[in-house]
Chains A and B, each alone.
Chain A
Amino acid sequence: MGVHRGRGFAAINYPIGMNLGGDPSQALVHSNPDGKFTVALSSIDLGQGMKSVTRQIAAETLGVPVADVYVDTADSDTGPHCMGSFASRGTHRVGNAVIQAAQEARAVMLEAAAEELEVNAADLVTDGQGNIHVNGAPSRSITTMAACQAAQFKQGRTVSGRGIFLIPLSEVDAETGEMTPVSCFAHAALLVEIDVDDETGEVTVRDMQSAYELGRALNPKLVEQQLVGGAWMGMSHALWETTEPYYPDRNHGPVDFNHYLMPGPGDISPHHISVLERPAPDGPYGGKGPGEMCANPVLPAVANAVYDAVGVRIDELPITPEKILRGIRANGGVKPRQRLARGAR
């Protein structure tokens, strides 16, 4: 009897967004009379950073400071349509819609500036600091605020833009059945180290190491926090969260946080993350986004680690102490894999 160390590995390909075509999101961008911009979305920021990332994308495309952009996700009744915040689609789908909308708004802003400066709009550039100037002649300039105000109060233009991102329907090849179900994939690999107590069946997570390929990390700190937090959502799914088993029937199942278990701050382990940036050709500024992938590899990795530690192959989540103990009993005892028995670590 004792505690057995186990290691488990899992690697995944994760499709960004819903497959097979469609999956649209819209964005509307307009300037306010003060020369600042509002991005209207129905895409919800539920803590993953949607507002921050779309704000960055809009500012980059418009050529204005991030501080001059406000992202309004307040109302999905009145805002432009979005499929929603799921399927790891936010950065990719919504980001692309924001780029399209911001490009259109930028073009109007430059036309307004061109009229004020009496130059051709094609000769104008933005400096990202709130100024528009003639390319090669920085002294011939106008602020983005002055350009937007001229459009509003003098020229009668709306500095605004519409954007939508839609994946075309993938046709099925009649001969081969081949199709393109998804436009881009993200990737991850995760190694987890656990201890399994063969008397209590309890699993203690010791360490996680992971590598993620998610296009360009448009906001590296947000990527990191999503990966750190999401891994524990995956771990919670793998080892804790269930409405089963409760006896004698489901009426005795958990209905509150006293009985529906989740890892607490004392249950977490170090998690070493590497992010590999390979900009995606159809991603907004190359971004794909971590999304659900931050939780996914944890589950199979933990199942493999339990098998590695005590030889019990569990194929129903979560991996509760009860399942582990029943598995050990069914196996006639703890059977760590040979590699461990040799004391490889």
Chain B
Amino acid sequence: MARTPIVFMLNGSERASFADPGQNLLEFLRRGVGDLSPKYGCGQGTCGACTVTIDGETQLSCLTLAESVAGKHVQTAAGLAAGATLHPLQEAFMENFAAQCGYCTPGMLISAKALLDRNPTPTREDVVEAISGNICRCTGYEPIIEAILAAAKGRARA
């Protein structure tokens, strides 16, 4: 079957690649475009490791058809840092020891960024709600919640 050319915005830059018929966005990003930051966890939308934003809304890339992002803005954890300068959320994750094995971290960062973009002063409950679709095995969540709250308060090392 014919592969479909897809032109979209990835982390602020225009990108183009071919998608296989029925290919999901996660595979498209990882194999087609070469952005390895969204992780494959469960492949069925229950772990959150593949979380990206599409036009600012969090979406599970494993459940999203690649073709559906044509012309849209996709953001992944790979786009958070500006060159060598980490995003304040990344700094806060580092400062608060919010990553252990690191597999959930890109999805956590994107869920957190989407939260702070729409609600710069979240409560603890808001944070919990925002990351409730992201499974973490290592941290017990507390350091992640603390990191997101710290980033929101600008307490992270700049």
By a beta-carbon cutoff of 8 Å, the part of chain A in contact with chain B is 46-49, 221-222, 224-226, 228-233, 256-258, 262, 264-266, 268, 271
Contacts and interface: CB of A to CB of B under 8 A. Distances in A.
Contacts of A221: 97
A47 B139 CA distance: 9
Given A46-B101, A264-B132, A265-B144, A228 B139 contact: yes
Nearest to A226: B100
A232 B137 CA distance: 9
Given A221-B97, A265-B141, 4 more contacts: A48-B100, A229-B143, A257-B47, A265-B145
A36 to B, nearest CB: 21
B132 A257 contact: no
Given A256-B42, A264-B132, A268-B140, A229 B47 contact: no
Given A47-B102, A229-B138, A265 B97 contact: no
A268 B144 CA distance: 12
A269 to B, nearest CB: 9
Contacts of B47: 257
Interface of B: 42, 44, 46-47, 97, 100-102, 127-129, 131-132, 135-145
Contacts of B129: 266
Nearest to A235: B140
A263 B101 CA distance: 18
A138 B42 CA distance: 58
Contacts of B131: 265
A262 B141 CA distance: 12
B140 A256 contact: no
A268 B135 contact: no
A49 B102 CA distance: 12
A228 B142 contact: yes
Contacts of B143: 225, 228-229
A228 B42 CA distance: 25
Contact of B46 (A47, A233, A257): A257
Contacts of A46: 101
16 contacts: A48-B100, A49-B100, A221-B97, A226-B100, A228-B139, A228-B143, A229-B140, A256-B46, A257-B42, A262-B135, A265-B132, A265-B141, A266-B128, A268-B140, A268-B142, A271-B140
